[in-house]
Amino acid sequence: MRLPRPTLLVVLALSSVLALAACTSAPAVTPTPSAGATSDNVQISARGIRFEQASVDVPAGKTFKIDFDNKDPGTPHDIVIHSGDANGPEVFKGEVFNGAMVKTYEVPALAAGTYTFVCSIHPGPMVGSMTAK
């Protein structure tokens, strides 16, 4: 006995949806709305236990990425962002890693305002200001 034509179409549509779901469920990458916009990444680098940028501007109200270039071989650094000054609430903490190496941090959306970024390993000499606008 043959299936009525509309039923056959539904079965075909369902099976292609399932096939698509099976193909796309594997990657564990978090989807981002602005995928591939690497040129928009904020650039911060560290050399000689100092940040090379005294201040950086970042976009307010949306997630953004920081390319952190640790240029100190064998020396661990990270970037921690505090609201206001360095004693303010921590709003982001990046992974600590040894140089020389570049890692990209994904930072959650920050409200417009002023922030301070520090290295948690060397908070004295490694400090900079960040403006979200």
Q: Which of 59/76 has CB closer to Cu ion?
A: 76
The label of the residue with tokens 């050399």 reads: 47
Report the sign of the C-alpha dihedral through residues 49, 41, 65, 89, in that order. positive
Shortest reach from residue 61's CB to Cu ion, in Å: 29
Shortest reach from residue 71's CB to Cu ion, in Å: 11
DSSP, collapsed to helix, strand or coil, labels residue 83 as strand
* Residues at the site binding Cu ion, with contacts judged by CB under 5 A: 77, 119, 121-122, 126
Q: Which of 126/132 has CB closer to Cu ion?
A: 126
Distance between CA atoms of residues 118 and 127, nearest Å? 4
The label of the residue with tokens 């997630």 reads: 63
The label of the residue with tokens 């064998």 reads: 74
Q: Which of 45/63 has CB closer to Cu ion?
A: 45
Shortest reach from residue 66's CB to Cu ion, in Å: 15
Shortest reach from residue 82's CB to Cu ion, in Å: 15
Residue 124, token pair as written in the block: 């004295």
Residue 92, token pair as written in the block: 């982001």
Q: Which of 22/54 has CB closer to Cu ion?
A: 54
Decide if 89 contacts 83 (C-beta within 8 A). Answer: yes
